[in-house]
Amino acid sequence: MDIAFHYFALKSLALKAGFSDDEAQLIAQYSQMTDDFDYTAWWDCRNVPEYIKNPDYDIINILGYFNPVQTGFLTDGILGKFDYLNLVTPRFQKLSCTPFHFIYNLRNEIGNKEYRVYPAVMNDFSNIWEMLKKARDEYQAALKGETSQYGDNKKYKRKTLMKIGLLLHIFADTTAHQMFSGFNANVNNVKLIKVQNNITGTDETEKYKNSVIYYLEKLSQYCPWITPMIGHMMIAHIPDLTHLTFTMEYKNNEGIISTYTRSNTAEFIMRSEQILQFLLSCRNQEMIPEEEWRDYSDQLSKCFLTDISECSDEKSMVKKLKPIWINCGGTYDYSSEEIKRSFVLETFPLEKEFPQGYEDVPEEIRPVCSTNASDDFYLFNVCAEEVLIDLYGVKPRS
């Protein structure tokens, strides 16, 4: 899924569930930030809070620098190239691609690169559902004013809303990314057969086959030595676009060639219903009446039937989507650049004396300055680290 779902739809759903505009914005903002939190470089942080020093975390690395939990990655520019080079490494696939975008369904799949994501649902005992249950309990504890390691209740509640947003991104992606693995795996060796535009009903197979070729050629410029079978690379961004129906060819578990067809629009509506049900449960509310859901889902469908495939960047996507999603109620605005700027409160020159081993660190990940970072920066890293710990155990990146 892309910003149309992870930010716009999720904010609409949170508002529908009765969260305030500020709360809904926080949930949706950090759902989308899961795609945009692309920090690869270490930070020299001067105001690290005590809760970051939890012995279960490995956010502070062996040289004493802050090592952000990278949940997303860039696709353009020099750092985009660096992220692509990271993407093809098993470590990045294990710690970023899989947990945040192609999560293992069940615990007994952890370590198997040839698993396939399937859509998680409430009460299905999947890894992501168990995480969502814990996040709901934590949110309700914060509402009751229970104490936490975060120092004050306002910060605790804010962290729980950010965690819900992050986890709902993962939960949503189990629909968009079903049939794929987060690793460079044979299950991802698929072939695009057909694409239909659900807005116009027209066949756009050739258009999207050309976009797949462009995407794979771009990747080959960075990584000419690898076959790009990570996630849904073989069919580019088609599984994420809200207005498409597509058919692909794949090999099933018996090695037999089969076809898979889905309407993203219809599937994303079903995912929206699950998310609304969860958000209502966070507030101890029942699911809305069936007739009300039908009317609301019709509004969602109209919004999903918006083509942003030609938008070249985040700003153009937001500009196109904002006036459409207003019809679902609420106000909408998102800028990853503004959020990232807000993470940095102050900067200072780096100390001249560097720790032993610093000279062996690649320049791309060395800190460029010392920083006082915001609460949100630290809290989001904790949320992401907790996902890794749930899957892999304490100190998951060591």
What is the pTM for the complete model shown? Answer: 0.96
The predicted pLDDT at position 82 comes to 63
The predicted pLDDT at position 77 comes to 53
The predicted pLDDT at position 64 comes to 92
Q: Return averaged pLDDT per consecutive 10 residues of the chain, 398 residues in all.
A: 98 98 98 95 95 96 94 68 78 96 97 97 96 98 95 95 99 98 96 98 97 84 77 95 99 94 99 98 97 98 98 96 94 97 96 84 88 98 99 96
The predicted pLDDT at position 373 comes to 98
The predicted pLDDT at position 151 comes to 86
Three-state secondary structure string covering the chain: CCHHHHHHHHHHHHHHCCCCHHHHHHHHHHHHHHHHCCCCCCEEECCCCHHHHCCCCCCECCCCCECCCCCCCCCCHHHHHHHHHHHCCHHHHHHHHHHHHCCCCCHHHCCCCCCCCCCCCCCCCCHHHHHHHHHHHHHHHHHCCCCCCCCCHHHHHHHHHHHHHHHHHHHHHHHHCCCCCCCECHHHCCEEEEEEECCCCCECHHHHHHHHHHHHHHHHHHCCCCCCCECCHHHCCHHHCCCEEEEEEEECCCCCEEEEEEEHHHHHHHHHHHHHHHHHHHCCCCCCCHHHHHHHHHHHHHHHCCCCCCCCCHHHHHHHHHHHHHHHCCCCCCCHHHHHHHHEEEEECCCCCCCCCHHHCCHHHCCCCEEEECHHHHHHHHHHHHHHHHHHCCCCCC
The predicted pLDDT at position 220 comes to 79
